[in-house]
Amino acid sequence: MASSPRLMDRPKSKNFHVLIRLFSFLAPYKPRVLLAFVALITTVGATLGLGQGLKQLIDAGFTAQNPQALDNALVFLLILAVVMAAGTFLRFFMVSWIGERVVADIRQAVFQRILSLHSAFFEVTRTGEILSRLTTDTTLLQSVIGSSASMALRNFLNLLGGVAMLFITNAKLTGIVLLVVPLVVAPIVIYGRKVRTLSKESQDRVADVGAFAEETINAIHTVQAFTHEREDERRFLGEVSGAFQAAVKRIQARSILSASVILLVFGAIAVVMWIGGRDVMNGAITGGELAAFLFYATMVAFNVGIISEVMGELQRAAGATERLVELLDSESEIKAPLNPLILPEKPVGHVRFDQVDFRYPSRPDELALKDISLDIAAGETVALVGPSGAGKTTMMQILLRFFDVERGSVSIDGVDIALADPEEVRKRMALVPQDPVIFSANAWENIRYGRPDATNDEVRKAADAAQATEFLEKLPDGFDSFLGEKGMRLSGGQRQRLSIARALLRDPSILLLDEATSALDAENERVVQAALERLMVGRTTLIIAHRLATVVNADRICVIDQGRIQAIGTHHQLMESSKLYNHLAKLQFSADVPQ
């Protein structure tokens, strides 16, 4: 398993018309595109002019022994060189700039689209695939827009111009060359393809070496514990030898290709020179004409070769564009209707599930929620309890409208959330997940995630209320401390308190808590509990309960099993009436459950 997909591996497409979609991204930069085009035409013109300068140099200068004409021809060539240099600078700069800019825009557009997509999309699309579209495919496009496309265009124009100049210079020799060029270029192109296939194979073998090493090193403890070192060494040697053999094949093919190119190209030049030389001797053409002719002929052959190379790149770019366009065209299935219902301006916090049936798109044959009806008054705390896989998390996901229900409805403050804007719905809620995510940023930014426009003062107050200030201030740089990849520097309880501060800052009317099951030590549990209680004041709270204290303190407890609500009531009521609850309570909430 290679850690990152390589450019060579991306599938190609012959579907070139998708490349047209790229034009919409070029549109904002029309003046630059135009400038690049003008520069391109100028350099092509100057390149073609070189042949004429050469002809002048030889005929009027050398052959006629005229120093003045020689000077003129040289000045002409120098001017052409300056024009070519300036044109190339401008073209290269503009085209590369456009390539980088357009790719930045495409990345932004794709990322924006990905963030808006519905949960089910992420279930069917692997994260690695999305990432490789965002990085590898866009990089490929950058190389195409920023170089290959302009190269293809330049070479194509050079080719057209070169052929035209060949005819103008000498039609008879051109006829011969048109016969010879395919004979020279075709074997080179065909063999070149073989070399490319071998290069890819060689790269794959090298990737295998890397993948094997990566897997083994990551599992170093298992390797050593099972004393598997010798065996792994032997297998690694196999991988390394495979890579070496593939490389040798590639090198062999490359050497043959280089030798053939030299033989064919110089052989062809010799043949044309021989025919042309005889014509010069006969007086049919001048020496300058022959030189110009050879110049144009070489140019044409060279350009044919390059274009065939670039075609492969363009095919890969078409493939990349196809995949990016597919992403850009993905529509979120969870979105606001055309005329979304507006939630009441002042949030109340009334939540109602009404006869909800739901099944996950990835598991269509099984109802995850069956006929769920639950009316939660503003400010009420409802604890969800039930065995693992009962559907507790699913209820929260439905309330956050990560998925739409199949039957029934879910409403907030009297508004069916399916008819509202999902962003507005989610703005009314804060989620404190079981295993809170800490982003690789400092504490300020991590808490401010709850409300990006909060002031430092507000962040501090939230941290105070969540009992997070003390431990945050003890960090080396206090609130400015970088909390590291996935918050590695914080303990489980600290992460929870930070997440509570985040929710406090968001100040939602509805709170979704997924209690941590992982055994927080008694001290931590007490602090987290205190922070939670402060957070819950005056808010409607739906809490997946794993702790006895939560269950006892909840206004109502909802017992869920296999997607259905089995019973609702207070702890004491349920201990009496619900066998399942009684069982769960004894099992889950430790032995000292009050009877």
**Which residues 6+ apart lie within 8 Å of 81 measured at CB?**
none
How many helices, marked H, and strands, marked E, lie in the chain? 21, 10
- Count of CB atoms situated within 10 Å of the CB of 365: 5
In angstroms, the Cα distances linking 510 to 347, 507, 530, 535, 538 are 9, 9, 19, 11, 9
- Which part of the chain contacts ligand ATP (CB under 6 A), choosing from 45-53, 362-370, 501-509, 564-572? 362-370
Of residues 195 and 417, the one with the C-beta less far from ligand ATP: 417
Task: Check residue 386 for interaction with ligand ATP (CB under 6 A).
Answer: yes
Q: Which of 337, 389, 414, 478 binds ligand ATP (CB under 6 A)?
A: 389
- Which part of the chain contacts ligand ATP (CB under 6 A), choosing from 74-82, 172-180, 360-368, 464-472? 360-368
Cite the DSSP H helix spans in 117-228.
119-124, 127-132, 138-143, 149-169, 171-218, 220-225
Least distance in angstroms from the C-beta of 121 to ligand ATP:
12
In degrees and rounded to multiples of 5, residue 368 shows phi and psi of: -85, -30
- Which part of the chain contacts ligand ATP (CB under 6 A), choosing from 270-278, 314-322, 356-364, 567-575? 356-364
In degrees and rounded to multiples of 5, residue 14 shows phi and psi of: -95, 5
Number of residues that bind ligand ATP (CB under 6 A): 13
Cα–Cα–Cα angle for 109, 95, 30, nearest 5°? 65
- Which part of the chain contacts ligand ATP (CB under 6 A), choosing from 162-170, 248-256, 389-397, 424-432? 389-397
Q: Which of 363, 407, 572, 586 binds ligand ATP (CB under 6 A)?
A: 363
Task: Check residue 414 for interaction with ligand ATP (CB under 6 A).
Answer: no
For every residue of 261-323, DSSP letters joined together read HHHHHHHHHHHHHHHHHHHHHHTSS-HHHHHHHHHHHHHHHHHHHHHHHHHHHHHHHHHHHHH
In angstroms, the Cα distances linking 276 to 142, 286, 500 are 44, 9, 86
- Which part of the chain contacts ligand ATP (CB under 6 A), choosing from 171-179, 208-216, 227-235, 383-391? 383-391
In degrees and rounded to multiples of 5, residue 332 shows phi and psi of: -70, 135
The pairing of strands 351-358 and 369-376 is antiparallel
Task: Check residue 595 for interaction with ligand ATP (CB under 6 A).
Answer: no
Q: Which of 40, 243, 324, 390 binds ligand ATP (CB under 6 A)?
A: 390
Least distance in angstroms from the C-beta of 362 to ligand ATP:
4
Task: Check residue 442 for interaction with ligand ATP (CB under 6 A).
Answer: no
Of residues 163 and 513, the one with the C-beta less far from ligand ATP: 513
Least distance in angstroms from the C-beta of 360 to ligand ATP:
3
Q: How far apart are CA 285 and CA 276, in angstroms?
A: 8
Least distance in angstroms from the C-beta of 99 to ligand ATP:
39
Of residues 323 and 392, the one with the C-beta less far from ligand ATP: 392
Least distance in angstroms from the C-beta of 563 to ligand ATP:
7
Q: Which of 149, 153, 285, 368 binds ligand ATP (CB under 6 A)?
A: 368
Question: Could you tell me which of 105, 93, 56, 103 has the C-alpha nearest to residue 77?
Answer: 56
Q: How far apart are CA 311 and CA 161, in angstroms?
A: 20
Least distance in angstroms from the C-beta of 120 to ligand ATP:
8
Of residues 392 and 460, the one with the C-beta less far from ligand ATP: 392
Return the DSSP state at 27: G
- Would you state the structure tokens that stand for residue 110, as one six-digit string? 């794709």
Least distance in angstroms from the C-beta of 402 to ligand ATP:
9
Q: How far apart are CA 552 and CA 572, in angstroms?
A: 8
**Which residues 6+ apart lie within 8 Å of 424 measured at CB?**
336, 340, 342, 343
Q: Which of 65, 227, 339, 388 binds ligand ATP (CB under 6 A)?
A: 388
Q: Which of 71, 123, 331, 406 binds ligand ATP (CB under 6 A)?
A: 123
Interface mask toward ligand ATP for 70-109; x: CB under 6 A: ----------------------------------------
439-467 burial, b at 16+ Cβ within 10 Å, e below that, comes to eeebbbbbbbbbbeebeeebbbbbbebbb
Of residues 390 and 425, the one with the C-beta less far from ligand ATP: 390
Of residues 43 and 578, the one with the C-beta less far from ligand ATP: 578
Q: Which of 212, 360, 402, 471 binds ligand ATP (CB under 6 A)?
A: 360
For residues 318 and 14, the answer to whether their CB atoms sit within 8 Å is yes
Residues engaged in binding ligand ATP (CB under 6 A): 123, 360, 362-363, 368, 386, 388-394
